[in-house]
C-alpha cells in the first residue's frame, strides 16, 4: 500500500509540473495570437489614416506606439502590404497614398535598418555598415536574408509550441487516467481487509445465534 501511495504522489507531482509547463506554452501561444491581431489592427489604422487625411511619419509612429504587443517587422509588413494593395488596385499619377507609403517605408528603412534581427547581431552589422559604406548593397541583402530567416524561425517556433501543447494535453490525460487507476487500486487494497473481516465475523455471529 505504501508503494501505491508513493507512486500516486509521484504521478501527482509530475501532473502538476506538466500542467504548469502546458500553461506556460498556452500563454506563449496566446501572446502570439494577440500580436497577430494587433498587426492587423495596425495595418487597418494606417489605411484609415490615409483614407481620412494626410498623416505624417510621426503620426504613424504614434499609432504604432499605441500597441504594446506587436510582431517584429510589423510596421514594415503593414506598409509593404498597403503598397501592394495600392499597386494592385492601379497606380495613378496623383496617388498621394502610394507616395506617402513609399516615403514611410524608406524612412523606416533609414531609421531602423536592422529591425526584426536578433539584438546580438545588430551591433556587428552597424559597425560593418559604418566602416564599409561602399558595400551598402551587400549589407542590405544580408539584412534582408537575416530578417527572412528570423521570421521563418519564429514561425517554426510557433508551430512547435502548438505541437508541444497538444502533446502535453495528451500526456496530462494519460497521467490523469494513470493516477485514477492507481487511486482505485490503492483504495480497493485498503478496503479488502475490512471486507474480509466483516465476512469472517458474520458467520461467527450466525453460529452463536443458532446455539
Mean pLDDT computed over every residue of the chain: 77
CA 79-85-91 angle, 5° bins: 105
| Cell 471486507, residue located | 195
Residue 206 has pLDDT above 70, yes or no: no
What radius of gyration do the chain's Cα atoms show?
Answer: 32
Mean of pLDDT values over 191-205: 52
Per-residue pLDDT tens for 1-20?
455 666 667 667 777 777 78
Convert the pLDDT of each residue in 55-91 to its tens digit: 999 999 999 999 989 988 889 899 999 999 988 887 7
207 pLDDT band, cuts 50/70/90, is very low
Q: Given a cut of 90, is residue 93 above it in pLDDT?
A: no
pLDDT 10s digits, 152-168: 777 777 777 777 777 77
pLDDT at 177: 75
Q: What is the mean pLDDT of residues 106-118?
A: 80
pLDDT on residue 2: 55
CA proximity to 154, closest of 41, 31, 18, 42: 31
Among the ranges given (29-33, 81-85, 163-167, 193-197), the one the predictor scored with the smallest mean pLDDT: 193-197
Number of other residues whose CB lies within 10 A of the CB of residue 79: 24
Confidence of residue 32 (pLDDT cuts 50, 70, 90): confident
Amino acid at each position: 500500500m505504501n508503494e501505491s501511495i508513493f507512486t500516486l504522489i509521484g504521478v501527482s507531482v509530475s501532473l502538476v509540473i506538466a500542467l504548469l509547463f502546458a500553461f506556460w506554452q498556452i500563454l506563449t501561444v496566446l501572446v502570439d495570437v494577440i500580436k497577430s491581431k494587433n498587426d492587423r489592427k495596425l495595418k487597418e489604422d494606417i489605411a484609415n489614416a490615409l483614407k481620412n487625411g494626410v498623416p505624417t511619419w510621426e503620426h504613424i509612429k504614434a499609432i504604432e506606439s499605441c500597441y504594446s504587443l506587436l510582431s517584429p517587422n510589423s510596421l514594415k509588413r503593414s506598409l509593404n502590404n498597403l503598397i501592394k494593395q495600392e499597386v494592385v488596385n492601379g497606380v495613378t499619377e496623383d496617388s498621394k497614398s502610394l507616395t506617402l507609403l513609399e516615403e514611410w517605408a524608406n524612412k523606416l528603412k533609414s531609421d531602423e535598418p536592422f529591425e526584426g534581427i536578433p539584438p546580438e547581431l545588430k551591433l556587428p552589422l552597424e559597425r560593418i555598415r559604418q566602416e564599409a559604406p561602399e558595400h551598402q548593397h551587400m549589407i542590405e541583402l544580408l539584412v534582408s536574408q537575416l530578417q527572412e530567416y528570423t521570421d521563418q524561425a519564429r514561425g517554426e517556433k510557433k508551430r512547435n509550441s502548438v505541437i508541444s501543447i497538444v502533446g502535453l494535453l495528451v500526456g496530462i490525460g494519460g497521467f490523469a487516467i494513470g493516477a485514477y487507476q492507481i487511486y482505485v487500486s490503492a483504495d480497493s487494497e485498503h478496503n479488502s481487509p475490512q471486507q474480509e473481516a466483516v465476512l469472517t465475523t458474520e458467520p461467527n455471529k450466525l453460529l452463536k445465534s443458532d446455539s
